Amino acid sequence: MSLRVAVVAPYDLSVPGGVNTQIRGQARALRALGHSVEVFGPASRPLADGEHTLGRAVLISLGGTESGLGLDPRGFAAVGRLARGPFDVIHVHEPLTPLVPWLVVGAARAPLVGTFHVHRESGHRLYAFWKSALGPLVRRLRARIAVSDAAKRTVSTHFPGDYEIVPNGIDVDDFRRPRPLPEALRGGRRAVLCVGRLEPRKGVDTLIRAMALVRETAPDVLLVIVGDGSERAALGALAGDTPTVQFAGQVSDADLAAYVQAADVVCSPALGGESFGIVLLEAMACGKPIVASRIEGYEALIGSTGCARLVPPGDAAALARALSALLMSADERRQLGQAGATAARAYDWTVIGRRLDDIYRRVDGDARNDGDQTRLRSIK
C-alpha cells in the first residue's frame, strides 16, 4: 500500500545545504518505493516543481551557522493548508527549529515523524531555554528519529524518550557515476578537497595553515575548497594569492560529485557541532581516503571503518602530518578508499528508504488503530 507523505524542511529550501540534500534524496527514495511524496519548506526564491513554499525564509545565525528560517507570518496560511492536507504521514526535519516546524507539528492532523540532525557538544541552548514550551511539540511526534547517536544525545538530554537511529543517506551509484574533470583540478597535480560552508566551526582556516606545512615537502599539492559562507573573505586573505589554494564556490550536486571523484584526499577539519558528516559519506561513496577531525559525529561514522586518518580538531600540525603521509602513499590512499567504498553501501538510499518505509507504515497503522478505538468508545 502506498502512502501520501509530506516532508517538511526547517531551512531555506532554495539554498543548497546538507539537510535539504537529505530531504530531496529521501523524497526520491520514497517515490521509488511507490509512495506519493510532496516537499514543503520556507524559501527565499522560487522552488522546483513538486516543492511548496511555506513563507519566505529569513537568514539568521544559530550556533555559528547561518540558516534561512521560516519566520514570515505570510506563510502561516500555507502551513495551515499543509496541516489539513490529505497526508497519511507528515515527516518534519528538525521539528524544534523555529518557526515553520513548530507550526506544522502543532497543527498537523496526520501522524507525525520527526528527524533530529543537530549535535552540540556543549548542549543545545534553544532546547534548554525553551524546554517547557517545546515539550508538547515533541510529545506530538509518533516516531522520533536521530541521524546519529550524537544527535540523539543532544535532543534526548532535554526531551527523553524513544529515538530510532536512521542515518543520512546517499545514492552511492549516482555519486560514483563518472563526471567530467572540473577545470580547477586539471593539470595532473595532487589535490586535497574540502567541502562545506565557510564558517568558523568548519575549521577551514586550520586546513589552510596545514597546507602551508604540507607544501614544504610537496609544493605541487593543490587545495580546492568547495562552498561559500561568512568566512570567505577572511579565508581568502589567509590563503593569500597563492595558486595552490583555489576557492570553487558553491557548486551543484553533479559538480560536487565530480570534485570528489577527482580529489586524491578529502579533508574535513571541522571543530565540532557535526552530528554525522555527509561530506565524509560522499567521499566514501567515491572510494576516496579521508583526513578528518576526531570529533564525536565524525568518529561515530568513520572511526571503525578503516577509511580515514583522524586528528585532533584545530591542530594544523597534526592535520599536515596526516595529509602528507597520505599524499606520499598511493597504497594507503587506495586501501582507505576501498574500505570507505565498502562501508558506504550501508547508507545507500535503497537501504535508508526501506527503514523509513517501515517507520511510516508502523506510524500509519498505529494512527488508524487509535482512530478505530476512538470510534468504538464513541459508539459505546
> Residues 280, 301: one domain?
yes
Residue 184 has pLDDT above 90, yes or no: no
Residues 195 and 270: beta-carbon distance below 8 Å: no
> Residues 202, 242: one domain?
yes
Consecutive H or E run containing 352: helix 349-379
HSE (side-chain half, CA atoms, 13 Å) at 377 = 6
Rounded to 5°, the CA angle 163-79-357 comes to 40
- Measured in degrees and rounded to the nearest 5, phi and psi for residue 167 equal -70, 170
> Residues 194, 259: one domain?
yes
> Residues 135, 48: one domain?
yes
Determine the structural domain holding residue 294 and report its residue range: 173-346
Pairing assessment for the beta strands 51-62 and 65-70 based on DSSP bridges: antiparallel
So what's the pLDDT on residue 373? 47
So what's the pLDDT on residue 58? 80
pLDDT in tens, 110-149: 999 999 998 887 667 778 788 888 999 999 999 999 999 9
Q: How far is CA 264 from CA 84, 138, 366, in A?
A: 50, 44, 49
> Residues 196, 98: one domain?
no
> Residues 358, 209: one domain?
no
> Residues 260, 291: one domain?
yes
Mean pLDDT rounded to a whole number for the chain: 92
| 15-37 as b/e: b if 16+ CB within 10 A | bebbbbbbbbbbbebbeeeebeb
> Residues 294, 153: one domain?
no
CATH of the domain at 128: 3.40.50.2000
Mean pLDDT of 182-192: 90
> Residues 140, 37: one domain?
yes
* Cell reading at 270: 571541522
So what's the pLDDT on residue 1? 84
Residue 328 has pLDDT above 50, yes or no: yes
> Residues 240, 318: one domain?
yes
- Prediction pTM value: 0.91
pLDDT in tens, 244-274: 999 999 998 889 999 999 999 999 999 998 9
**pLDDT bracket for residue 377 (50, 70, 90):** very low
> Residues 330, 253: one domain?
yes
d(CA 376, CA 216): 77
Q: How many domains does the chain fold into?
A: 2
- Measured in degrees and rounded to the nearest 5, phi and psi for residue 145 equal -120, 140
pLDDT in tens, 76-93: 899 999 999 999 999 999
> Residues 8, 32: one domain?
yes
